[in-house]
Chains A and B, each alone.
Chain A
């Protein structure tokens, strides 16, 4: 097996007495798309937060590309190569769609502390942002404030931000939640595109089993914060423990968890 790009060792976080992520040790390899599944409240989002740094681990480590990033602030982890799309849309609402992406490209180019040239004059950054908008087919709303976009387009923009970040590890937290089937397909196509580019590692929290079946190389199952199953899709889906983890959940819960 190749050297893992991202690994967690005994990753744990407690909120008061409640252990939301419990001793999770796992690795993610370059070019691999891992689906992370588990019922509502299993700790999937919290696991993502620990990796990308929004929450500090109570114990355990996160290692990216050989570097221990457990103590780094969020922005440094992003610079180190983690890219995160959020479960709840999380954008700059009063800024335009183009500006949302431009800010990402600007961050990527390390131009944030440029005090003296105008942002308008950095035409290469704007041009690159426009290319990315075209990729997700949002160029027609480039000049609109994000708050005026329909939900589906906001989700697309969320993915576009991730593409603009060009991370080593892409983390999607339920990217298609609350979307129409059509819109969901656009997003999933984008993710499939990323997967086709061999080098990137993708972590995908998703409930729709058919999506997982077609996209995932591997499934990790979280339950009550613990990693309870890990393996190729067919194998994991057949196992009793997964059946149990999902037992008692209505289809609707599976959509919105």
Chain B
């Protein structure tokens, strides 16, 4: 049964299985295990980034297709949900419609870019995605009447997803294990559940005959064509699917933040984060997205705080305390990533799978 849910693509390493299980349990029970606004927020972001990075893995890790437009598709989903919620009024119908419009729009955009440029050289496709993504980011900041420009858009979720909505008063006294049963909790589980489904869909896609063809294209495009696969069509399909999934992740992100803006969804830094997460976790494995996103977001969120505690602990040693000052956290994060790429050239998942 579990085999089937995982599309027969199990982690294939005991250590890796344990790690994935811990992350799964941690995310599934996050509001109860780590109550607190900040921790639950981190957990939700991890869920969303797992989907976002997994959908990019479908494209880069399996198909070998380099795209810089992945954040654009993420943004399309996020803005669609924000705009429908603003203009149709708060409600689940607005959310669903927004997510659907986003997915369709992202697919069409991906198809257009793909049709136009995937026939030519791979590098051309990469350049076009970069150009289109930058152009769209500029458009979004220009058309501020519609998009809110650099400030972005804040919108309201359905009442059931707001902190003021309480449930289970009679049954549980309104709390379970000390956690308040409110709309915020519901939103978290909406994010978690949808992310899980999207992740499993991605896992299925790469293990379907279609995913195998993508692998073949990555390995040897020329031969894939010679055994009868129309490579361009497969590449365009992969681009569209990955765009649609990224757009759904974007919709979830907007729902979680109740806000959408260029810096949270469209920025090039975000694109680089996606690449880093994928490389650290392990390309072409899908599970790499889980490990990578968890590690990355935990480091990003807690490294600074940990360093703060460390410096106050060790006192005033001249050079050391300067190096460990919380202001240097970016430096240390960079070093951590260089070390991890150096130690695990095939990513963490690749490393575990090699010596089980």
Binding site for B on A (CB under 8 A): 52, 54, 73-76, 78-79, 84, 86, 90-95, 99, 102-104, 106-108, 111-122, 161, 165
Contacts and interface: CB of A to CB of B under 8 A. Distances in A.
Given A52-B226, A73-B230, A95 B219 contact: yes
Contacts of A76: 230
Chain A CB count within 10 A is highest, among B7, B215, B223, B228, for B228
A112 B223 contact: no
Given A113-B210, A113-B237, A119-B209, A95 B215 contact: yes
Contacts of B231: 75
A103 B220 contact: no
Interface in B229-245: 229-231, 234, 237, 241
Given A90-B220, A92-B220, A93-B219, A108 B209 contact: no
Q: Which secondary structure dominates where chain B touches chain A?
A: helix
A52 B234 CA distance: 20
Q: Which secondary structure dominates where chain A touches chain B?
A: loop
A34 B223 CA distance: 24
Contacts of B204: 115-116, 118
Contact of A120 (B207, B224, B234, B241): B207
Interface string B293-324: 00000000000000000000000000000000
Interface string B275-288: 00000000000000
A138 B356 CA distance: 27
Chain B CB count within 10 A is highest, among A75, A99, A108, for A75
Interface string B208-219: 111111011001
Given A99-B212, A118-B208, A165 B228 contact: yes
A119 B212 contact: yes
A165 B225 CA distance: 13
Given A75-B230, A84-B226, 5 more contacts: A76-B230, A90-B223, A103-B216, A115-B241, A117-B209
Chain A CB count within 10 A is highest, among B8, B209, B219, B234, for B209
Nearest to B231: A75
Contacts of B225: 73-75, 78
Chain B CB count within 10 A is highest, among A91, A92, A99, for A92
A122 B209 contact: yes
Contacts of B208: 114-119
Contacts of A111: 209
A91 B227 contact: no
B333 to A, nearest CB: 31
